Structure 1
Amino acid sequence: MAFLVTILVFGASAAARGLITEAPSAITTAPEAPCPLTTEIPACAIPCMISAGSEAGCGILDLNCQCGAAPQIHSLAAPCVISKCSPDRASQVESVGSAICSQCV
């Protein structure tokens, strides 16, 4: 269930990078996700997770909120993840999410 929560964090990190408007020479470091495991989340699930996390009232980088709201986020995101991802990728989302909540929160 926490797997879907994880997608939010990964998506937020990617979105933050897209919002940088400074010249590349002025950037010293890229924004980092609060948990390195987020890079293992399949891209197909990211939009689903961002939407579900927002609906659950969690900030995009707030792992404590996302993991605490995992059952709600799972319910909101599951239909989208199932429709956008292969069964293997959907399963990967779940296992990575669980790992993030157990190791990074």
Structure 2
Amino acid sequence: MLVRSVGLFMVGLLLGLLVAVCPLSRQVPLGVLLGLGMLFAVLTLQWQRLFTTLSTAAFGAAVITVATDYFVELFALVLYVFERLKAAPAQPVCWVTWAVLGCGLRSHCSES
């Protein structure tokens, strides 16, 4: 019984972390990432079907975006996100990177 709850908690935590990474800036501290992760983890325990569906759709879109980014630009978008998480000044990215991100967001919208 505990294993199912832990799995749901981790699915919700993943969804919260993915949601928290979206508005990346220097003002987004680690506490906001973990706070939103915990919030979505608890919400997933409460409403299991809805948040499991949302989490798997968001994670699938993230995987598609990273795979597309690898084949198009050799992880330019992933490196940009990593620099933003470190709160380091990130190098500006070109329009191709934003197009890859848009394709990932589009695939997320079509999955839901």
TM-score normalised by structure 1 residue count? 0.29
Question: Which protein has greater RCO, CA pairs closer than 8 Å, 6+ apart?
Answer: 1
Q: Which has the higher Rg, Structure 1 or Structure 2?
A: 2
More helix by share: 2
